[in-house]
Chains A and B, each alone.
Chain A
Amino acid sequence: MRESGARTVVVFASASLGEAFEATARSFEDSEPGVDVVLHTAGTPRLVLQLREGAEADVFASADTVQMERVVALGRAASKPRVFAGNSLALAVRSDLQPPLAGIEDLARDGLRVLLCGPKVPAGRYARQALGRAGVAAVGSRSDEPNVRALLAKIELGEADAGIVYATDARRAGVRPASSSRASFVTIEPEHNVTVQCPIVALRRDDAAKPKPSADAFLAFVRSPRGQSILASHGFQAP
């Protein structure tokens, strides 16, 4: 049961921020004894839906600014959102794909099974931007995957040949030997790549005028050198 005491911070974070925020939350709890962080991650549009239907959260961290703007439009943001981290895209490729892919333009290869996230999912939106920049906007997905993890799972299982994921997912998979043997990652050239901006904001609960002090403290921690180094260790870039 979620407690709504002053010493609990409920954080809604997009799925791509999952592990990084787990580490951030533990570190924050260490530095602020008595404060509990309750972390809830999901695909960003799903989080926005829950917030719109009145979910009680204190902090919202998004994978893109479009979804953040929807939360601001709900009137739940306590202040102006701030970008706290950056990310970029990478290609995920089935390890035994022959011939191997050299870059994002190779996604246009005949008969290649490509997977992208749905167009409203941040990762899917960014992916289509990158494809446009690389001149291969016509590349389509076999399925609009609901989030990057589902997409990666299908590539690891060999159901698809390639897909566009976050650079942090590439970093995360490299740390887990079992799956990384079946999926490898190819960098996307900076001129085709997209700068992902992750904003964060403290939320008002119901008709309270201000967010909880612990929510502001969490935000400050995320943007502090310690918080930033945790994010960097998970592959995120500085804002």
Chain B
Amino acid sequence: MTSTRRNVPKLLWLPAALAALFFALPLVGLALRAPWRELLQLLSGTAVFDALILSLWSSLLATLLSLLLGLPLAAWLASTRSVAAVLVRVLVTLPMVLPPVVGGVALLLVYGRGGFVGSWTESWFGAALPFTSAGVVAAATYVAMPFFVLTVEGGLRGLDPRPADAAATLGARPLRVFVTVTLPMLLPSLRAGLLVAWARALGEFGATITFAGNLAGTTRTMPLAVHVALEDSPDKAMALSVVLVLISAGVLFVLRRQWFPTLRRDAEVRS
């Protein structure tokens, strides 16, 4: 099956070009004003390395948690139309709609030392999430998981039900059907969901600085480091921003087949 070229009305070309420009110009601006010659010098030092490593491992861990907790939730949401599911879906969507700072405040009120979960962990384990790297992961998971859940739920609802039905008819139990039939068909949605969750986790700022705090090495992720650098050394902020842009663009490029449907279809046609 070849991809058909659709005729885009000429009326849409100009707004489309403006939209593309709207996205391209900030990157052009960054490229023009970034201190390229001093880049390596600005990026040297343990503070930058610490922020980068912290951002990478905390965002990956948040993505993993989103998978482990989000996949069962998405499976349940896709399987039912009950009132409970509607309510849960609203709850899951809320972090996407709320300003991240508000999410951070809410997390603080529950998981902080004064909150009912936090005071419990404080009295039993002597620790609570604020001001810890675990708190960074918690904040990132809170804002990123909704993206994963909604992507995967959409994917599940869009699956052809016949293979799973056939497997059930042949005697396979629900768990076996899920693992051997549904999940492999779900892979494209899973990959897209993991990617968007990871991207959101990597870029999280408001909830992190409010809930986890801002301490070099422990809770200062790359976005926080940019924020700190912005007020003191804009050149350093631009250098850090360039790093983040390059990493994000690099990952999107490497995973382009997952992200751009035409590339995937063309690849499948060729194989």
Interface residues of A (CB under 8 A from B): 43, 45-46, 48-49, 52, 113, 118, 120, 141-146, 150, 154, 157-159
Contacts and interface: CB of A to CB of B under 8 A. Distances in A.
A117 B215 CA distance: 11
Contact of A157 (B114, B131, B215, B227): B114
B234 A157 contact: no
B230 A143 contact: no
B209 A157 contact: no
Contacts, number: 49
Given A46-B231, A49-B234, A141-B215, A158 B112 contact: yes
Interface residues of B, number: 21
Given A144-B214, A158-B114, A43 B219 contact: no
Interface in B225-258: 227-228, 230-232, 234
Contact of A143 (B112, B215, B234): B215
B108 interface: yes
A146 B220 CA distance: 12
Given A143-B213, A144-B215, A157 B232 contact: no
A15 to B, nearest CB: 13
Interface of B: 108-109, 112-114, 130-131, 209-210, 213-216, 219-220, 227-228, 230-232, 234
Nearest to B216: A144
A157 B216 CA distance: 23
28 contacts: A43-B231, A49-B231, A49-B234, A52-B234, A113-B131, A118-B214, A118-B228, A120-B228, A141-B215, A142-B131, A143-B131, A143-B213, A143-B214, A143-B215, A143-B219, A144-B214, A144-B216, A144-B228, A145-B213, A145-B214, A146-B209, A157-B108, A157-B109, A157-B112, A157-B114, A158-B114, A159-B114, A159-B130
Contacts of A49: 230-231, 234
A144 B220 CA distance: 9
Nearest to A143: B213
A141 B215 CA distance: 8
Given A159-B108, A159-B113, A159-B114, A48 B214 contact: no
Contacts of B108: 154, 157, 159
Nearest to A158: B114
A52 B33 CA distance: 15
Contacts of A159: 108, 112-114, 130-131
Nearest to B126: A111
B230 A142 contact: no
A146 B214 contact: yes
Given A143-B131, A157-B112, A157-B114, A120 B231 contact: yes
Contact of B231 (A45, A113, A145): A45
A176 B186 CA distance: 55
Contact of A158 (B113, B210, B219, B220): B113
A43 B214 CA distance: 16
A60 B35 CA distance: 29
